[in-house]
């Protein structure tokens, strides 16, 4: 799978990320690094333990990373999550979490296809 195809599979904006980070090498390097990023796992953990402040920061970090990498789909669900937690709306956040999980899985499996090359 090419990097462009990977972005299509995770529903991201390849053109945008390429223009901002300038080279395909860099985009690929950081896309792969996303697999090691802990913010999603921390988010799930802190949500299950009702650590709302920490969960907010995790969602915020995840959102920021997705934004930088133009992972559009995961960015939009993690943004919703961030805003719900910022407003202290934990019930709403818990609902959105399943969407974030689904988008995260979609993103990660697309990137793993990239490593399979």
Residues in the site for other proteins, rule: CB under 8 A? Answer: 16-17, 19-22, 26, 29-30, 33-34, 37, 39, 54, 57, 60-61, 63-65, 67-70
C-alpha distance from residue 36 to each of 16, 88, 112 (Å): 23, 28, 12
In a 10 Å sphere around its CB, with 0-12 CB exposed, 13-18 middle and 19+ buried, how is residue 93 labelled?
Answer: buried
- What gap in Å lies between CA 66 and CA 93, rounded to an integer? 18
CB of 48 to other proteins, least distance (A): 18
Longest dimension (CA), the chain: 43
Residue 83 to residue 12: CA distance in whole angstroms: 21
Residue closer to other proteins (CB basis): 50 or 98? 50
Cβ at position 94, least distance to other proteins in Å:
21
Report in angstroms how near the CB of residue 64 gets to other proteins at its nearest: 6
Q: For other proteins, which is the closer residue by CB, 61 or 97? A: 61
Considering beta carbons, is residue 63 or 96 the nearer one to other proteins? Answer: 63
Nearest approach in angstroms of CB 29 to other proteins is: 8
Copy the structure tokens of residue 15.
């053109």
| Cβ atoms of 77 and 99 closer than 8 Å | yes
Q: Which is nearer to other proteins, 4 or 33 (CB)?
A: 33
């Amino acid at each position: 799978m090419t990097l462009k195809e990977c972005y299509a599979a995770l529903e991201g904006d390849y053109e945008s990320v390429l223009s901002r980070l300038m080279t395909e090498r860099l985009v690929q390097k950081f896309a792969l690094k996303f697999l090691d990023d802990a913010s999603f796992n921390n988010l799930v953990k802190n949500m299950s333990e009702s650590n709302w402040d920490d969960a907010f920061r995790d969602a915020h970090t995840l959102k920021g990373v997705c934004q930088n990498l133009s992972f559009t789909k995961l960015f939009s669900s993690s943004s919703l999550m961030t805003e719900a937690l910022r407003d202290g709306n934990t019930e709403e956040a818990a609902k959105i979490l399943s969407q974030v999980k689904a988008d995260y899985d979609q993103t990660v499996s697309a990137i793993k296809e990239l490593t399979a090359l």
